[in-house]
Structure 1
Amino acid sequence: MAEDPGGGPPLTGPWVGVDGCRSGWQCAWLAADGWSLRRIPTFDEVLAAFPEEAVLAVDMPIGLPDQGFRECDLLARALLGRFASRVFLAPPRTCLGARTPAEFQAIHRRLTGKGAGVPVWRIVPQILELDRMLGPELHGRVFEAHPELAFQALAGAPLPSKHTPEGLAARRRVLGLAPHERPTTDDELDAMVLSLVARLFVQGRTRTLPAQPRTDALGKPMRIVVPIRP
């Protein structure tokens, strides 16, 4: 497996998976010599790293509600059944202006009737970063996807938790990785399956949740792209 250390000319590979992680954005793409991985600090650097024709599947909310919850998140949770909690509910846009976790929770409760999970507050900076970067010109090639939905669709059934050895092994099998082959982290595996979603999207082998997505107040589509089961 090739791993790009950063720098140099734009990276090759038109189908890119991008997973938000603690130190930025974990990217994965399939090149001629196998999977390549790179962790990039900011999303503007992600866009600059790949050719303009690259298609990016991103695990981060794109398109935010004014109040309540997005239909795509509720449909995604329904698909995952008893594993519904693996999909975070995107917060209303007003929540992103909160300066503290307490303020975030108060606004979230007022606009949705419920408190937000603790992990949602932690990803607010990345939701904001992505929201500010994506204009209408990128909607056709940068879209939201979710690793758990992708793995389930490709495997034909829900997989064990990615935080267990069994879950990691199951995800590696879906990706066709040999037991000794990298990657070893769930962020890398998530980015890799998102890369497959990007390729399937280009091939017309995906669907959207919902089938007819609405746009938010800024014109961003509120949708999640899911593979069509082979």
Structure 2
Amino acid sequence: EGKIPIIINIHGGGWCYGTKETYQFYGLGLARRGFAFINANYRLAPEVVFPAELDDVNRYIHWVAEHAAEYHLDTNNVFLVGDSAGGQMAEQYTAILKNSSYRKKFGYKMPQLEFRAVALNSAAVFLLDPGMIGGAVKGYFTDEILANKRELLDTEKYITTDYLPTFISTATEDFIRDSSIKFDGFLTAKGVKHIFREYGDRENPRPHVFLINQKDQIAQQANDDEIEFFKQFVVHS
């Protein structure tokens, strides 16, 4: 009945692999919890380099704004979710939404959507930290890109106190767990409303991006927690 609040997903995959199909059951799980789930692909490295993938994300977010009425979507209640590389893009796109000077550097226009909160799952935040860009990832963030567009990659520099409310999730065996812990402290220092959750324990360890596994009870709990966080920011007209 009525319009449906929206979750827009940015899939992970180290900027060089991954597909929306991997997320279909995860998306259905979130839809069962009362949200429309928008799931899209974007071009991958090495066919493209930074910021082409984010350009695609921007393009499909604008597509949602333009076609929302056809699907009874509530453009007044929009939430962004990303994991791993997709989490980095969700973090960055949120900074772009909330900081006009940063947005100008990308040449993006504001979508006609009201974003209420963001969830960053095992996100590759602090991209410029040592060890974050290496191996296949350099197919997207090439040496030339790092030399000429490094400023655009320094997302945290552009995060202000009016950043979206943020749900940060990681896991005991997440190989970039420390980045999420650091981001928790960073948002605390900025005064940004957020929640930090680490899932799993010594007896029940959980890996990077475990929460898309719909057969995992701990993943179900993580998804429940995230949706409960989102629901507190839904605005009822």
TM-score by length of 1: 0.33
Structure of greater relative contact order (alpha carbons < 8 Å, 6+ residues apart): 1
Higher relative strand content: 1
